[in-house]
Amino acid sequence: MANVIAALDANAPWVSHLERAHSLIHAVARFLEEESEPSAHLAPAARKLERGLSAMYDAFDGRADRVTAIGVAHGRIWEAAILLSRAGLPREVTSLRDACVELVAAEERFPRVPLAGPRVEPLRAGTERPPLHALERASLAPSFRAPDVPAPEPETPALALPEPKTFEELREAAEAMRRLTKEKAKAPLAPPKRAARQEPVAAHEEAPPGFAFAPEGAISEETFVRRWARSCFEEIGMLGVQRAPLRGDDWRACQSLELRMIAAIDAVAALGSPAVAYLEPWAMDAPAADPMRIFAAAMVGGCLEGRDALSCAERVLHRFGPGDPAVAEAFVSAMKLAPNPFVPNVLRALYRSPELGCRAIAVEVLGHRGWLTASELEELCVEEDARVFALALPAIAMQRHAGLERALTRALAHEDLDVQAAALDAMAIAAHPRAAAAARAAAEGALGERAFVRLAIVARESDASWLLERMRRSPTPSAIEAVGWAGLGEAVPTLIDRLEGDDEAVRFAAAEALDRMLGANLIEEIELAPEALEEAAFVDPNPEPARGRVSLAELVSDARDRPPAGSMDTVEAPSTDPEKWRAYWAEHGGRFDRKLRYRRGQTYSTSVSLYELDRLSLSAEDRRRLARELAARTGRWVRFDPHDFVADQVESLRGWEGVVRR
């Protein structure tokens, strides 16, 4: 009878034990990296941890006999624990002891059925989504920093003096030592060793026209691979951080950037194991947190088969701090897209972390991908940390968890305004019958203007009228935007009047609202200063008011070599000319009922929301609002997010199309 070969289950009990040991070992390694005092034991312990983790990756990915590899890892970790005990670190020794217990449990619970080894297949280029590349390679070994081993002190020959037995002999010995010291001080110093005489290098004569000296020698294959790998990593990081469309860009056009990023990932895989091994040192070499490097490390690790590649991304995350919003955003962005089957394991390891930044990352990605379990959702319904609770609420609503009502009650009364806003979003996603009432109460309460658009997308007719009256009393940009989303016909004359004010933000908001309601396509081109569409990554601490806005290029460039100012950027925006809108309203206003709600020139229906989501060039936040609006109006939810690959968004829109048709 043939032996059955089972596939690896990333959720198997023995894998869970390995994951817990993996987290404990990395926590100890991070402690060692923060130490600065020289020690004879910490650097050797770090080397043992590196070898233990390499053996664990062999066990995870089947690059060696798994049971043997677990035993090797156990031995190396135990040796590291002995070294740390000699260094007087009882807490870290306890952590490694617990890791050894987990390794023993993993060995005991390893299945009797043989498991499939690493899958190596011919490389296939990605198409609309990045593939999971399987390469024949050794496990990636980590490299941990540790304090240097103190250098031994030079030995000084002792003076051969008789052992003193009386105070007189002790005085004579001290006097003899003083004389010896004085004699050494008077002795001439030994002449320093001369360096070997170097022959002067003959200067090259100037080459005649048409000729050149011989080029530099050929670079090694490793140098060649690293150069191209670095270029690919930079390409992946740049495209990953900047692939979101700018204002007015078609979201489908972003697929060209995605294809470039996927091609760069394919190129890294084609360069082979030397390129993959270079990923972590390159990312760690940044002098400060660099979102592009963090995204590249996480994205490449997520597109290579194996637990070790994702561990590189974890170490980069912890090196630069998961509590840093820029670091967390880059890591989250990659984890939302990566196809590696061990991604849930990484996220649940972060979820168990005591560090709130790690838990927030885990909840955001697990919720985005629909991977939160029923027990995790139950825990999150009573979550104490405001940031984690706010991230969890939409996920609880998407899965219609039984604890949703309890969580919403807590959230609406929460003192943190972000939690209140997330609760209103969750109520829209769940098509909650009290969504409009809760949003209106929040708008009248502490949340204020942040609740206006959230009310508009779930509004009844009375709520749309309330928003209009509120805007008439205080025509702020947020209130005007909400009136445009609510779409009440009688709001049009008031919005046209708002175009005549002096406040540019109010005028622009009114033009946007009229365009959203009437779909008149009254567009004008606006010239903006170079870089005005982008937010500068650096802020001048002492700006000069007379100069106005300083461009990023001017801010970071040397005063003696600044680049030219550049040409003006041109964008299309709804017209802010009140006469054009009055003329349009005079000609077409007769077909609009003042008591009905309109969107893009049509009586509002869910098909119009779907049209906007599918066809119009809107911001990512507006498209998220449209998805929540569809959920609130249809009572259904189809997973959708503008962060996903274009192919995934198209697939989600097909699902929404079926819901709207029904």
| pTM: predicted TM-score of the whole model, two decimal places | 0.85
DSSP state of 254: G
Cβ neighbour number for residue 579 with a 10 Å cutoff: 11
Phi, psi of 598 (to 5 degrees): -130, 150
- Distance, in Å, from the CA atom of 28 to the CA atom of 636, rounded to the nearest integer, reads 46
pLDDT tens-place string over residues 266-311: 999 999 999 999 999 999 999 999 999 999 999 999 999 999 999 9
DSSP 8-state code for residue 371: -
Residue 142, C-beta contacts closer than 8 angstroms, at least 6 positions apart: 29, 49, 50, 53, 54, 280, 311, 312, 315
pLDDT-derived band at 197 (thresholds 50, 70, 90) equals: low
From the list 514, 535, 527, the residue with the least C-alpha distance to 601 is: 514
Determine the pLDDT at residue 214: 67
pLDDT score of 42 more than 80 = yes
Contact 102, 16 (CB under 8 A): no
- What is the helix (H) or strand (E) element at residue 375, kind and residue range? helix 374-381
Residue 192: its pLDDT value, please? 55
Residue 35 scores a pLDDT above 70 = yes
Tens-place pLDDT, residues 5-21: 666 788 899 999 999 99
Rounded mean pLDDT of the chain? 87
β-pairing, 569-574 vs 523-528, is: antiparallel
Average pLDDT over residues 62-80: 94
pLDDT at 170 over 90: no
Position 532 confidence tier, pLDDT thresholds 50, 70, 90? low
pLDDT of amino acid 537: 37
pLDDT score recorded for residue 561: 67
User: Do 340 and 132 form a contact (C-beta atoms < 8 A)?
Assistant: yes
Instruction: Report pLDDT for 174.
Output: 62
When mean pLDDT is compared across 92-96, 135-139, 312-316, 521-525, the lowest value belongs to 521-525
Amino acid 540: pLDDT: 40
Spatial contact of 411 and 426, defined as CB atoms under 8 Å apart: yes
CA distances in angstroms from 276 to 53, 219, 302, 306, listed in the order given: 17, 19, 12, 12
- In this structure, of 1-5, 174-178, 419-423, 473-477, the range with the lowest mean pLDDT score is 1-5
Return the SS3 of 485.
helix
State the Cα angle at 215 between 212 and 220, rounded to 5°: 170
* Banded pLDDT at 544 (limits 50, 70, 90): very low
CA distance 302 to 626: 30
Q: What is the pLDDT of residue 539?
A: 38
Name residue, tokens 């680049």: 563
Which is nearest to 484 in space by CA: 454, 458, 522, 510? Answer: 510
Q: Is the CB of residue 366 less than 8 Å from the CB of residue 344?
A: yes
Reference 347, options 378, 305, 376, 383; nearest CA is 376
Residue 447 structure tokens = 């949340």
pLDDT average, residue stretch 210-216:
66
CA distances from 650 to 19, 95, 516, 647, 660 (A): 35, 47, 23, 5, 15
CATH topology classification for 13-108: de novo design (two linked rop proteins) (1.20.1440)
Q: How far apart are CA 17 and CA 7, in angstroms?
A: 18
Residues in the chain: 662
What percent of the chain shows pLDDT beyond 70? 83
User: In this structure, which amino acid lies at residue 483?
Assistant: V
Residue range(s) occupied by CATH 1.20.1440 in the chain: 13-108
Amino acid occupying residue 471: M
